[in-house]
Structure 1
């Protein structure tokens, strides 16, 4: 996967993310319509902004811990094959933030708002981990994505199925990590151009 992406421009990489997450959102909306209808689903999902504060605090705390561990551990343990470097190298802050927002909304709509809502805690955890297959290649990355998935699923469950809380957590967690990657890779070589 990384081999093919090495020769893509930033615009092409961004396009892949937009398509992938756009399809996730459409899939999620389709499943909601087919299963119970959007109005019934909206009535059962919490959008409480008070719970979102917990998502924000947890996202900042765990995102910062993740950055600290990534800097503490050797790169051979934390490297995902160079994909994160290709994605975040020389990217503008607004681009990073918008990508994190898109990913947070799409993934949490599907994994917590649909999979966990209809199929339960462990189904959402396992599928979330499997979708992040590039993190399955190393023990630390696998452990990291499993723990993160359990924390997000737990936040959704303990916040009375608050979709806003998990979306905010996901955006903040990803944004902190992405900013750190951008800063670390800023002066390194890279191939994401344009």
Structure 2
């Protein structure tokens, strides 16, 4: 983790953005490739439903879970919430529109893979476990591991009980990440962090 942060410290904001686009672009191609090989993209899309009710549920859940996360970040000691400084490197000096674009890219890509492919074909717990493992920088932090696990269960549950409405989980992921990232950006720029606005966040 430290090596990843050290490498990113030497990169410009544009270079970090380029890495995100390349990584997520490759994941999107991988997901589409799996769908084509298995059932075909048209058949896959027919089996997914679209409805406003689960999308509204997704927005509500994202707002509530983001608010809980922000509240916890303000009361927990830094040792529980520090991810090595990676989030600070990514979000501190970005404009809100840049953050939104990153959140859209990440939310779309991760949900296409973890819900649209893994959960769609391999089930609830496969998507939950693999989602947690991909966020490997949290694995040695009890609180962060718990947090990302609960987040993964919430998203997988939303997908499961919304008749596989992929749009709803994408909306949840984007909104949840965007609110959290804006909160981090505000506190980083004010010289604050997680606990009581005085310590460094993640």
The alignment status of 1:178 with 2:178, answered yes or no, reads no
The alignment status of 1:43 with 2:39, answered yes or no, reads no
The alignment status of 1:60 with 2:24, answered yes or no, reads no
2:195: which partner in 1?
none
Mapping of 1:1-194 within 5 angstroms?
1-188=4-191
Q: Where in structure 1 are there 5+ consecutive unaligned residues?
A: 190-194
Q: Deviations over 1:85-135 (max 9, x none)?
A: 000011000000010011110000110011000000000000000111111
- In 1, the alpha carbon distance for the partners of 2:130 and 2:153 equals 11
- In 1, the alpha carbon distance for the partners of 2:96 and 2:173 equals 17
Calculate the aligned-residue CA RMSD, in Å: 1.1
Shift of 1:38: 0.5
SS, match of residue 50 in structure 1: helix
Shift of 1:14: 0.8
Larger RCO: 1 or 2 (CA < 8 Å, sep 6+): 1
- In 2, the alpha carbon distance for the partners of 1:27 and 1:48 equals 27
CA contact (8 A) 1:80 1:137 kept: no
CA contact (8 A) 1:49 1:164 kept: no
- In 1, the alpha carbon distance for the partners of 2:64 and 2:19 equals 29
- In 1, the alpha carbon distance for the partners of 2:88 and 2:191 equals 9
- In 1, the alpha carbon distance for the partners of 2:111 and 2:63 equals 17
- In 2, the alpha carbon distance for the partners of 1:67 and 1:9 equals 28
SS, match of residue 137 in structure 1: coil
* TM-score normalised by structure 2 residue count: 0.91
* TM-score normalised by structure 1 residue count: 0.95
Q: Deviations over 1:144-181 (max 9, x none)?
A: 01110011000000111010110000001101110011
